[in-house]
Amino acid sequence: MLHRNAFWRTAFALAIAIVPKIAGAETRFSDAEVLGTPPAPFRIVSVKTRTTAIVQTGRGYQSIAGAVSGQPGSQNLTVLQPQIEVVAKQGERLTHTVWAPVDIVTSASATAIDRRRTPVDVISTASAINESAALDWTTDYKVDADTNVFVRAGLHLEEPYRSWTFGLGGSKSFAGGNTAVSASAIQMLDWLDRFQITGTRIGRASRTSSNVNLSLVQILSPVTVAHLSYGLTIQEGELGNTWNRVPLLTGNWDSELLPSQRVRHALVGRVAQWLPWNGALKGYYRFYHDDWGIDAHTAELQLHQRIGRALTFRGSYRHHRQSGASFFTIHGLAEARLRTADSDLDLLSSNAVGGHLSLRYPWPAWREVEFEVGYERYFRSNDLEANVVTCSVGFQF
Amino acid sequence: MKRAALALAWCTLSGCATTAQNQRARLADPMMSVTDDHLETYRKQKLYTTREGAAGGDGVPAGGGCGCQ
Using one digit for the tens of pLDDT, what is the confidence trace for A27-49?
577 776 777 766 678 899 999 99
Question: Could you tell me if B54 lies within 8 Å of chain A, comparing CB atoms?
Answer: yes
Using one digit for the tens of pLDDT, what is the confidence trace for A253-293?
888 899 999 999 999 999 999 999 999 999 999 999 999 99
Question: Could you tell me if B65 lies within 8 Å of chain A, comparing CB atoms?
Answer: yes
Residue A42 near residue A90 (C-beta atoms within 8 A):
yes
Residue B66, pLDDT score: 47
Are B53 and A322 inside 8 Å of each other by CB? yes
Closest-CA residue to B35 (of B59, B69, B66, B11): B59
Residue A108, pLDDT score: 43
Residue A321, pLDDT score: 96
For residue A108, the chain B residues in CB contact (below 8 A) are none
Higher pLDDT, A66 or A276: A276
Output Rg (C-alpha) for chain A, integer angstroms: 30
First-to-final CA distance of chain B: 33
Which DSSP letter does residue A38 get?
P
Residue B61, pLDDT score: 59
> Which residue is closest to A152 within chain B, CA to CA?
B60
Please determine, for residue A306, whether its predicted confidence score (pLDDT) is greater than 80.
yes
Q: Which of B21, B35, B38, B39 to mutate to test the interface with A (most CBs of A within 10 A)?
A: B39
Question: Could you tell me if B35 lies within 8 Å of chain A, comparing CB atoms?
Answer: yes
If you average pLDDT over every residue of chain A, what do you get? 85
Are A211 and B62 inside 8 Å of each other by CB? yes
Pairwise CA distance, residues A52 & A66, whole Å: 27
Are A225 and B62 inside 8 Å of each other by CB? no
Residue A230, pLDDT score: 94
- A317 Cβ contact partners less than 8 Å away, ≥ 6 residues apart: A300, A301, A351, A352, A353, A354
- The string of DSSP codes covering A58-73 is EEETT--TTPPTTS-E
Are B35 and A177 inside 8 Å of each other by CB? no
Please list, residue by residue across A306-344, b when 16 or more beta carbons sit within 10 angstroms of its beta carbon and e when fewer do: beeeeebebebebebbbbbbebbbbebeeeeeebbbbbb
Distance from CA of B20 to the nearest CA of A (A): 8
Residue B34 near residue A284 (C-beta atoms within 8 A):
no
Pairwise CA distance, residues A123 & B42, whole Å: 21
Please determine, for residue A24, whether its predicted confidence score (pLDDT) is greater than 90.
no
ipTM computed for the complex: 0.80
- Number of residues assigned to chain A: 397
Pairwise CA distance, residues A345 & A331, whole Å: 15
pTM higher than the cut 0.80: yes
Q: How many other CB atoms sit within 10 Å of the CB of residue B8?
A: 12
Using one digit for the tens of pLDDT, what is the confidence trace for A141-186?
999 999 999 999 999 888 778 889 999 999 999 988 899 999 999 9
